[in-house]
Each structure stands twice: as structure tokens, then as C-alpha cells.
């Protein structure tokens, strides 16, 4: 790779994200446990992928959630909790529960997006079992359809304690 091309990409362009305000007790507890390091397992329980695109943006160089110690991991055993998007469809209900069981206790559950909170536009659809809260105990909700990447990063900062 040519040196100039390499160096052209090194200009930092990350957006400033405000620190989160005081949160729910579960969030404060998580912040106290994690103290600057948060690994989450993302589970798509039936989303339209809009939230996934915003998550990708949140971890991109522009919003850079990693600078606050937040990371997505492949194995739930390595994680502090789950990041669930989409309403919980019937086929994904059991896998979601199994994934939650695979995370070491105590596990946090983050419901990202309106669909995860209350099924959003898919409420009452034939394939939908319920919101994430109907299947797992939710510790943090991030509203929006889809939520803004800065809002995602801000909310996760609260969990990470940074």
C-alpha cells in the first residue's frame, strides 16, 4: 500500500459523543462492574436490518464506539450481555433464550430500536412472538427507528461506565 494512501486515512474524524446521564439502577450496576470495558453479543431476533446498519455506523471510525471500551464479540461466553435488535420472532425465541443462558451471569440485555422495545411496526404480525422484554429481562432500551448511532454509543457508554 502506498505511503501517501496510508497516511491519508490517518486523519481522525470521530464525532464527539456526549457522556450519558444518570441511568437506571441496572445500568449503574453494570457500569460499576465493567469500569471501562464492555463486550456485547449482538443478536438479530427478527429485525429489518435498519438497526444493524446503525450499529455498524456506531462502530465505524465516525462514531467509534470502541474508543469507550465497547466491543462486539462473537462468543456469548466472552460477553457481558446481549444487544438485541428487532421483535422476537417465533423461530428466534428459543435461540435468543439459549444465547442469554450462554452469557456468564450477571448478563445485561439491551433492547435496541423500537421493534425491540414494543415490536414497533411489526406488532401483531403472524411471525412475531413479542418484544424482547416478553422473552428476556431487559436492562436498557434504546429508542428510535432506527436509533441514531450517537444515541447508541451514548447509551452503551452508560453500561460501560466510561
Partner 1 sequence: MAALLVATAVVGLAAAVAGAAAGPRLRTPLTVGLTVAACATGFAVAARVLATGGVVRFHTDHLLPLAGLTLRLDRFGALFVAVSAVVGVCALVFRLGYDGHGLSSRTASAVLPLFVTTLLLVPAAADVTTFLFLWESMAVTSLLLVLADHRRRAEVQSAGQWYAVMTQAGAAAILVGLVLLATRSGGQSFTVIAAAAPHLAPWIRSAAFLLVVAGFASKAGAVPLHVWLPRAHAEASGPVSALMSAAMVNLGIYGILRVGFGMLRGGPAWWWLVVMAVGALSALFGALHSATASDLKRLLAHSTTDNVGLVLLGVGASGLFASTGHPSLALLALVAALLHVAFHAVFKGCLFLAAGSIQQATGTRDLDALGGLLHRMPVTGTIFLIGGAGMAALPVFCGFVSEWLLLQSMLHGLPAADPAVAVAMPVGVGVLALTGGLAAFTFVKAAGIGLLGLPRTEAAAQAREVRASMSVGAGALAMLCVLLGVAPFTVIPAVAGAARTVSGIRAPAPLSRGWQLDLPGVHSVLAPGLLAAALALTVGAVALVRRRLEPGPVRVVEAWGCGRELQTANMEYTATSFGEPLTRVFDDVLQPSHDVDVNHVAESRYYVEAATVHLSLDDAFERRLYDPANRSLRRWGAAARTVPNGSIHRYLAFGMVALVLVLVVVA
Partner 2 sequence: MAATAAISLLQVIGVVFGGPLLVGLMRTVRCRLEGRVGPPVRQPLLELRKLARRQRMRPQRASWIFPLAPLVLVATTVLVAAVAPLLTTDPAMGGTADLFAVVYLLLLGSVALGLGALDTGTAFGGMGASRALTIGAVAEPALLVSILALSVPAHSSNLPTIIATSLAHPVLLATPQRLLALAAFVIVVVAECGRLPVDNPGTHLELTMIHEAMVLEYSGTDLALVRLGESMRLVVLLALLAVLFVPWGIATGHGPAAQAVALVTLVAKVALLGTALAALEVAMAKLRLFRVPELMAGGFVLSVLAVVSALVLA
Residue 145: which of 86, 96, 88, 70 has the closest Cα?
86
- What percent of the residues of the chain are helix, what percent strand, and what percent coil, each to the nearest 5? 40, 15, 40
To the nearest whole angstrom, how small is the minimum distance from the Cβ of residue 156 to partner 2?
Answer: 13
Max CA distance (Å), the chain: 56
Give the three-class secondary structure for 62. coil
To the nearest whole angstrom, how small is the minimum distance from the Cβ of residue 5 to partner 2?
Answer: 10
| Binding status of residue 105 toward partner 2 by CB under 8 A | yes
Which of 75, 121, 127, 137 touches partner 1 (CB under 8 A)? 75
Beta strands across the sheet bearing 38-44: 70-72, 38-44, 81-85, 108-112, 140-142
Report the partner that residue 123 touches, choosing among partner 1, partner 2, none (CB closer than 5 to 8 A by kind). none
Which of 95, 121, 123, 145 touches partner 1 (CB under 8 A)? 95
C-beta closer to partner 2: residue 74 or 145: 74
Cell of 92: 428466534
| Binding status of residue 4 toward partner 2 by CB under 8 A | no
To the nearest whole angstrom, how small is the minimum distance from the Cβ of residue 33 to partner 2?
Answer: 7
Binding site for partner 1 (CB under 8 A): 75-77, 94-96, 98-99, 101-102, 104-105
Amino acid at each position: 500500500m502506498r505511503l501517501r494512501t496510508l497516511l491519508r486515512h490517518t486523519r481522525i474524524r470521530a464525532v464527539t459523543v456526549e457522556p450519558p446521564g444518570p441511568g437506571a439502577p441496572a445500568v449503574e450496576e453494570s457500569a460499576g462492574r465493567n469500569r471501562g470495558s464492555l463486550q456485547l453479543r449482538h443478536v438479530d431476533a427478527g429485525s429489518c436490518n435498519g438497526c444493524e446498519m446503525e450499529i455498524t455506523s456506531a462502530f465505524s471510525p465516525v462514531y467509534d464506539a470502541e474508543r469507550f471500551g465497547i466491543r462486539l464479540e462473537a462468543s456469548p461466553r466472552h460477553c457481558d450481555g446481549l444487544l438485541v435488535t428487532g421483535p422476537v420472532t417465533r423461530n428466534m425465541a428459543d435461540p435468543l433464550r439459549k444465547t442469554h443462558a450462554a452469557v456468564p451471569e450477571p448478563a445485561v440485555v439491551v433492547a435496541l430500536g423500537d421493534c425491540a422495545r414494543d415490536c414497533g411496526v411489526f406488532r401483531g404480525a403472524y411471525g412475531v412472538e413479542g418484544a424482547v422484554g416478553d422473552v428476556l429481562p431487559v436492562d436498557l432500551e434504546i429508542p428510535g427507528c432506527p436509533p441514531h448511532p450517537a444515541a447508541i454509543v451514548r447509551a452503551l457508554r452508560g453500561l460501560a461506565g466510561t
